[in-house]
Structure 1
Amino acid sequence: MLSWAAAAENKFSHPIAKAIIDRFEQLGAPIPETDETKYAVGYGVTVGVEGHIVHVGSARYMAHEGVKLPSALEREVERVHDDGHSLIMVGVDGALGGALELKAAQRSEAQLVIDGLRARGAKHLAIISGDHDRPTRNLARKLGMDRYFAEVLPQDKARYVEALQKEGRRVCFIGDGVNDSIALKQADMSISLRGASSIATDTAEIVFMEESLEKLLEIHDVATDLQRNIKRSWRMIVGANAVCIAGALFGNFGVMHSMVFNQIGGLAAVANGLLPLRKAARLQHQKDELAHFIAEHSERAL
């Protein structure tokens, strides 16, 4: 069952496929060859493996493909969901061959990122998931999310994003799967990361070059600093022009005075706009010094 499931999921990069393939690789066996794959977004995948028609996906996908599920499976599904886990069904030639139990694992940096976003003023954090209610609810409670949406079909994720927008919220959506592409397009800001599906990285406005969300806090800080810098530049320009206007009305300013103050304001704004480059150069210099220090002491240790 595991080898056929791995064969079916071998061409995909979503988390469930990765979990199945990682577990199969522990067996040290080659993945069986498959014929043309039929993939139903958000439901499952069907392939031909070693002369058998194999379906891998949710119970909903099995029903859609005409795979009969035994009544005893309902009790097992309840038990798995009570534990906060999920079941991936493996159908073989129209009948249930087995099921794989998946335990939801949060990213190691997830809690750090969520706490950091809270500290930076994030007002509403939500999970939009195609998983069942109980695993999603348990994960949302563990991470301290404000809200969660479970059992969401791919085409409905964008609708939930739109619902949040209609509540007056500016939505940043983070996703890495094929199922997330429509929601990434709908959101005010969309982020994906390295290792995500190609359609997710093509759709997202920002793509992290690491398979981690830690950069989310850094990019928030960079954006906040940039916004402050732009506002400061505008104040410099407006302030200089306000002096020109006041001088012309009350101080007998001539054309030359106005030109001088206008240029002072513009040059001050330009200098202020260059501050992030100076900061970046300083940080790079510090990194270079640290790298040199580590390399030097490594040579001494050897």
Structure 2
Amino acid sequence: MQRHILKNKNQIMLISGILIAIAFINKWTIGNMLIFNWALIISSILGVAPIAIQAYQALGVKVVSIDVLVTIAVIGAFLIQNYEESAIVTFLFLFGAYLEQRTLNQTRSAIKELTEMAPESALKQMENGDFEEVEVDDVDEGDILLVKTGGKVPVDGTVLNGEGYINEASITGESAPVGKEKDSKVFAGTILENGTIQIVADRVGEDTTFGKIIELVEEAQDSKSEAERFIDRFSKYYTPAVLVLSFIVWLISKNMELAITILVLGCPGALVIGVPVSNVAGIGNGARNGVLLKGSEVIHDFSRTDTMIFDKTGTLTIGNPAVSETKYYTDKVDETLSYLGSIERESDHPLAKAVLQEIGEIKFLPVENTEVIKGGGIVANVNGHRVAVGNIALMEKENVELSKEAKADAVNFEKNGNSLVLTSVDGKLELMMGVKDQIRPGVREDLQRLKKLGVKNLVMLSGDNQGTVDVVSNELGLTEAHGNMLPEDKAKYVKNLKAQGKVVAFVGDGVNDSPSLALADVGIAMGSGTDVAIETSDVVLMNSDFGRLPHALGLTKATARNMLENIVIAIGVVIVLLAGVFFSEWMNMSIGMLVHEGSILAVILNGMRLLSYRLK
């Protein structure tokens, strides 16, 4: 019976409203008070039923909820035969709850839209070579799938053949189609706007990037900030306090109507809902715009950030460096390049890729006893020779003596903004390459926007040499820039800044800089949909789009400000209403409930403004 009543709460509200309308139309026309009273009595009984059930359920878990206050107030009004007040209060409370639910559903529209984008079926290649439509849950890793024009990509995968343009807005927030061809990566939930492609499934179901985004957004929207936890604790004691205050007023004044009016006016509905609705709307806006904010605690910390630290490669720069200068110190050029290429082929470092691209077609040799020197480079045995590939620090560790010419070359390379890749064979320097990365387009303007948003210190920490770091820093107008930094050095730097009372955000690639991302107040990953980027940070900029960083910071500031506005609205309305009870003659239960529900809608609508937030 209880479940049936709660399920039909909206219908009960509608019937209650119709009965109230009948009562007042009758009063103003026919004037039959019997019909007037009985219509209001039935309306009160129907209306209070779902409220009383919710109050009973709350008391069952030892919580004095808003429903308890309203139930007591309505029963009190009914006992003193103020049927007009009891009927109107129950109708307004139910109508307010209905409007709250509708508007709250709109604030959660971002996650709803994401969920609706989730693919449900896929064209899977069967054993006979034909493609048949199956449910996406029946797709396993390694399966070959066909995606036609207008179709959704069902899994994360790699293009086997075909080409086309894919709308990746569900992953990156960017609506411009992205060209795909053989060996391109594609993501579940994206849409093939034209062309036909065959892909092999790399990740399926909840393991896809899209699945993880939905999971993260849902978790973030359900998380609670310190402010929300405080309000939960506050309302836990505030609501019983209103009940006690009402009882004391009744004992002193013997005025039952005044006491139950205080119960209605003291309801903390807007206070309880004001902060969560801002949180949900802010996270929803981020999800639509390629920014994952992992919870309201992150919003709170990020909005107060005054120091932002950046990794260089892949963050401020494109992360696709190229060799710009080369100097040989040997006559055996082909042999040295063969040693260098054989070692670099085993590395996935961006500098290694640049070196291999520069070398081109060479004879690769077997590599043995490979040792990766953190922050230095690689040492290995190639064709019976000890070969070291890395920076000057590695050369010093290998006791490779640099001539005056080599030292001068290194200085010049660094002045030109190059990272150094030196190659030694059997303790003798044979090759020096200068590798330069391009600064991301628009980064300087984005950094200026961050400054305008209140970030006082813009710092770059890089493992590259100081000369390269200084060139990039000067071009971008950074506050500080430090080179030759190992991962542990970066982490120590973050610790020192936090010890000085700075609120620190670290922006990196989510792999090499994971200690710093974890230590910072806010870890921000430039994530091209990678597992590591999504899992190790507090904020993820999808598709590694640096331009989304100012939007993310502006959004968190707007969300934090919106939360504060809602708290002020909620507390202000309660103060005004209670003052109206004691210092005016016009305040009553019906007016109080109307204003109370209005304040709840006000904070919800204020929170919903965040859904359309755009950085000016």
Task: State which drifts further: 179-188 or 53-62.
Answer: 53-62
1:272 counterpart residue number: 606
Query: Are the equivalent residues in 2 in contact too, given 1:7–1:34 (CA < 8 A)?
Result: yes
* Alignment of structure 1 residues 1-302 onto 2, 5 Å: 1-2=336-337, 4-10=339-345, 12-24=347-359, 27-28=360-361, 34=367, 37-49=370-382, 52-64=385-397, 66-72=398-404, 73-176=406-509, 178-194=511-527, 199=532, 202-251=535-584, 253=587, 257-277=591-611, 279=612
Give the Cα separation in 2 of the matches to 1:10 and 1:201.
Answer: 27
Distance 1:21 1:196 in 2: 26
Native 8 Å contact 1:127 1:148 kept in 2: yes
CA deviations 1:77-127 (Å, max 9, x no partner) are: 233233343321123344333221123532223212212222333211111
Task: Determine the C-alpha separation between the residues in 1 that align with 2:573 and 2:484.
Answer: 57
Unaligned segments of structure 2, at least 5 residues: 1-335
What is the Cα deviation at residue 157 of structure 1?
Answer: 0.5
| Larger RCO: 1 or 2 (CA < 8 Å, sep 6+) | 2
| TM superposition shift of 1:155 | 0.6
Shift in Å, 1:169? 2.1
What code does the residue aligned with 1:229 have? N
Counterpart Cα distance in 1 of 2:436 and 2:457:
26
Q: 1:258, CA displacement in angstroms? A: 4.4
Shift of 1:144: 0.9
State whether residues 172 and 188 of structure 1, in contact with CA within 8 Å, keep that contact through their aligned partners in structure 2.
yes
CA contact (8 A) 2:341 2:356 kept: yes
Q: Deviations over 1:230-275 (max 9, x none)?
A: 2232222122212222123323655555444333222322233233
Q: CA RMSD in A?
A: 3.1
Change (3 A) 1:232 1:190: same
Per-residue displacement from partner, 1:55-96 (whole Å, max 9, x unpaired)?
2211212332x2523333223223323334332112334433
- State the shift of 1:201 in Å: 5.1
Mean CA deviation greater in 180-189 or 251-260 = 251-260
Identity of aligned residues (%): 28
Letter of the structure 2 residue corresponding to residue 269 of structure 1: V
Q: Secondary structure at the match of 1:211?
A: coil
Structure 1 unaligned blocks of 5 or more:
284-302
Deviation at 1:4, TM superposition (A): 4.2
Q: Could you say if the C-alpha distance between residues 5 and 241 of structure 1 is closer, same or farther in structure 2, counting changes exceeding 3 Å?
A: farther
Give the 3-state SS of the residue equivalent to 1:105 in structure 2: coil
Structure 1 residue 36, shift from structure 2 partner: 6.5
47-56 or 95-104: which moved more?
Answer: 47-56
The code of the aligned residue for 2:603 comes to A
The answer (yes or no) to whether the contact 1:133–1:151 under 8 Å persists in 2 is yes
Deviates more, 1:7-16 or 1:208-217: 7-16
| Residues 164 and 60 of structure 1: CA distance in aligned 2, closer, same or farther (over 3 Å) | same
- For the pair shown, which has the larger CA radius of gyration, 1 or 2? 2
- How many equivalent pairs are there? 277
Counterpart of 1:71, as a letter, is: S
C-alpha distance in 2 between matches for 1:214 and 1:171: 19
Residue 18 to residue 254, structure 1, CA distance change in 2 (3 Å): farther
Contact 1:176 1:197 in 2 (8 A): no
SS of 1:122's partner is coil
Distance 1:243 1:132, change over 3 A: same
Deviation at 1:174, TM superposition (A): 0.9
Task: Report the alpha carbon displacement of residue 206 of structure 1 after superposing the two structures with TM.
Answer: 1.9
Q: Given the two structures, how large is their TM-score scaled by the length of structure 2?
A: 0.40
Q: Distance in 2 between matches of 1:49 and 1:240?
A: 77
Which deviates further from its counterpart, 126-135 or 252-261? 252-261
Q: Partners of 1:43 and 1:197 in 2: how far apart?
A: 25
CA separation in 2, counterparts of 1:204 and 1:5? 35
| CA distance in structure 2 between the partners assigned to 1:179 and 1:152 by the alignment | 12
Alpha-carbon shift at residue 165 of structure 1 (Å): 2.4
Using a 3 Å threshold, how does the CA distance of structure 1 residues 2 and 249 change in structure 2: closer, same or farther?
A: farther
Task: Report the CA distance between 1:216 and its aligned residue.
Answer: 0.9
**Larger CA deviation: 108-117 vs 7-16:** 7-16
Write the distance in 2 (CA, Å) between the matches of 1:62 and 1:80. Answer: 16
In structure 1, distance between residues paired with 2:441 and 2:365: 32
**Partner amino acid, structure 2, of 1:207:** V
Moved more, 256-265 or 94-103: 256-265
Pick closer, same or farther for the CA change 1:75–1:259 going to 2, 3 Å: same
Q: 1:213, CA displacement in angstroms?
A: 0.9
Distance 1:202 1:93 in 2: 42
Secondary structure of residue in 2 paired with 1:16: helix
- SS of match in other structure, 2:457: coil
Partner secondary structure for residue 212 of structure 1: coil
CA distance in 1, matches of 2:430, 2:532: 32
CA shift digits 1:154-207 (9 cap, x unpaired): 211011122222333211111126442211111111112235986555422222
